[in-house]
Amino acid sequence: MKKTQTTNTGYVAFLSLVAAIGGILFGYDTAVISGTVSGVATQFGLDAMQQGWFVGCALIGSIGGVAVAGVLSDRFGRKLTMLLSAVLFTVSAVGCAVCADFTQLVAYRIVGGIGIGVVSIVSPMYISEVAVARWRGALVSLYQLAITVGFLAAYLVNFQILKSAETAVYSSALMQKIWITEMWRGMFGAETLPALLFFIVIFFIPESPRWLVLRGRDARAHVVLERIYRSPELADGEIAAVRGTAAAASQSEWRMLFAPGIRKAVVIGVFIAILGQFMGVNAVLYYGPTIFENAGLSSGDSLFSQVLVGVVNMLTSVLALVIIDRVGRKQLVYWGVSGMILSLLCIGIYFLWGAAWGLSNVFLLVFFLAYIFFCAVSICAVVWVLLSEMYPTRVRGLAMSIAGLALWVGTYLIGQLTPWMLENLTPAGTFFLFAAMCVPYILIIWRAVPETTGRSLEEIEKYWQKDA
């Protein structure tokens, strides 16, 4: 209790907010694609397969980024790896805005995807390692909130550029090209500003104190921890705790992953990461406008509906941030996933019998928004928290990379398979399948995942070691 009373709340919040900016870039880079597909396809004469490659190429980059993020962060530190991601986002945004042809566009999208993969691992990891146990859930949830802010920002930027292109005129030929005649360039290029901001502010935060301890840099770690806890004695205690758990794990990082308890944690992390993607959230975020148009909405109404999805996603993430450390990780999953199942079943019913029953499009929109609400308050908020806190510090980067790799493979698969499922399984069958995939997820959380709310990272590590 003494730790939480003496904690420098403002400083910890500042460190977490800086790392969370990576989530804004993650969300923006992921969501901006929805407003660019038609323009890019028309300009470069893309067929259906090429459009799929355009949408999915960034995900390929993400898989590559997440595969190396853990190794890089464990070797070079969390701070330097976040700097690398900021550079990748900046290069991608500028490159997409000025690229000469489709091949260059794809190359720069892959670069941005690598940045997404890297930051998706390192940012929540950094937050979990500077946060105190009492607030760790809320602070790591800042990262998920930032992702939703990025999603909404992309939707709003796309919408605003589309509207302004109707009347705006620029004297510069390049500006006219980027913002008017080939407005998809402006949609991508707008990411440059937050990317540069992320790059600059990272210089104002310290390295993760837990990583410093593992590298034998106790003096530097002590400075950071003393500023966090406002007590030299508490700083010494944290260093001793990290050293104690590290000493108990004398194996190499890769060998440690295969220790019975840690192996179980890694396998569980992989399953909750990949199953979460097959519960439909990214299908809705990627293909929402297409789904709405298939349901009879106009293109303008479908775009507006997608903006509503982004607003609900962001506001609900704020709610999750407030309650996650009070309600607990597992309870949020139980209630949230139950709501997701109900919403998905109602969406499926709409597509199956909505026309016969005379159901309005409003019915579909309501349950879409309900689905987003339940998803954002549960699995979207909880997954990054769990993945950032369930592994030992010594292998946290490597283990998170493995789980993150599973997550991005699932994201890529669902991105590629959703159009096929909508066509061959029908929209109703697709959403019923998403509902069915929720069941094993909730069972894994119930049976295999401990409640981590309020526990220190070292206490959680001891739980898995005890389970060995």
DSSP 176-245: HIIIIITTHHHHHHTTHHHHHHHHHHHTTSPPPHHHHHHTT-HHHHHHHHHHHHS-HHHHHHHHHHHHHH
pLDDT digits (tens, 9 = 90+) for 239-283: 888 887 665 544 445 677 777 777 888 888 889 888 888 898 877
Q: Which CATH superfamily is domain 249-468 in?
A: MFS general substrate transporter like domains (1.20.1250.20)
pLDDT bracket for residue 1 (50, 70, 90): very low
Tokens found for residue 321: 């941030």
pLDDT of residue 264: 85
Region 121-138: mean pLDDT is: 88
89 near 62, Cβ under 8 Å? no
User: Under CATH, which number does the domain 1-205 receive?
Assistant: 1.20.1250.20
Region 445-464: mean pLDDT is: 82
d(CA 390, CA 382): 12
More confident site: 461 or 10: 10
pLDDT of residue 346: 94
Least confident of 74-88, 203-217, 249-263, 410-424: 249-263
Mean pLDDT of the chain: 86
Tokens found for residue 220: 């530097």
d(CA 230, CA 452): 25
Per domain, the residue ranges of the chain are 1-205, 249-468
Region 146-153: mean pLDDT is: 90
In CATH terms, are 1-205 and 249-468 the same topology? yes
Region 62-75: mean pLDDT is: 89
More confident site: 421 or 223: 223
- Cβ atoms within 10 Å of 273's Cβ, excluding its own: 24
pLDDT bracket for residue 298 (50, 70, 90): low
pLDDT bracket for residue 435 (50, 70, 90): very high
What one-character DSSP code corresponds to residue 450? -
Q: What whole-number percentage of the chain has pLDDT above 70?
A: 92
Nearest CA among 25, 118, 112 for reference residue 70: 118
pLDDT of residue 261: 73
pLDDT digits (tens, 9 = 90+) for 77-120: 999 999 999 999 999 999 999 999 999 999 999 999 999 999 99
Q: Is the pLDDT of residue 465 over 80?
A: no
